[in-house]
Amino acid sequence: MENASEFKDRVCLVTGGSSGIGRGIALEFGRLGANVLIADIQENSKIGKYHDTDITTTTSEEIINNGGKSEFIKCDCSKDFELENLVKSVEKKFKRIDILVNNAGIHIPGSIEEQSIEEWDKVMSVNLRSIYALTKLSLELIKNSDYGRIINIASVNAFRGGLGPAYAPSKSGVLNLTRDLAITLGRHNITVNAICPGYIETPIQDYNTPESIEEFLATLPIKRLGKPKDIAHAAKFFASKDSEWITGSYLVVDGGGLAS
pLDDT tens for 182-200 read 999 999 999 999 999 999 9
Query: Does position 226 have pLDDT exceeding 90, yes or no?
Result: yes
The per-residue pLDDT of the chain, averaged, comes to 95
- Report, as an integer, the average pLDDT of 117-134: 98
Looking at domain 4-252, its CATH class is alpha beta
Domain ranges, ordered by start, for the chain = 4-252
Secondary structure letter of residue 8 according to DSSP: T
Whether the CB-CB separation of 102 and 17 falls below 8 Å is answered with no
β-pairing verdict for 149-153 and 191-197: parallel
Whether the CB-CB separation of 102 and 135 falls below 8 Å is answered with yes
The span from the CA of 157 to the CA of 218, in Å, is 19
Query: Which pLDDT score is estimated for 145?
Result: 96
Whether the CB-CB separation of 162 and 198 falls below 8 Å is answered with no
Query: Which pLDDT score is estimated for 147?
Result: 87
Q: What's the per-residue H, E or C state across 37-64?
A: EEEECCCCCCCCCCCCCCCCCCHHHHHH
Which residues are identified as catalytic?
Answer: 167
Query: Does position 77 have pLDDT exceeding 50, yes or no?
Result: yes
Query: Which pLDDT score is estimated for 2?
Result: 53
Query: Does position 216 have pLDDT exceeding 70, yes or no?
Result: yes
Query: Does position 53 have pLDDT exceeding 90, yes or no?
Result: no
Please tell me the pTM assigned to this model. 0.95
Query: Does position 26 have pLDDT exceeding 50, yes or no?
Result: yes
- Report, as an integer, the average pLDDT of 214-231: 94
**Other Cβ atoms closer than 10 A to 48:** 17
- Report, as an integer, the average pLDDT of 155-175: 95
Q: Counting every residue, how long is the chain?
A: 260
- Report, as an integer, the average pLDDT of 94-107: 97
Query: Which pLDDT score is estimated for 190?
Result: 98
Query: Does position 157 have pLDDT exceeding 90, yes or no?
Result: yes
Whether the CB-CB separation of 181 and 149 falls below 8 Å is answered with no
Query: Does position 52 have pLDDT exceeding 80, yes or no?
Result: no
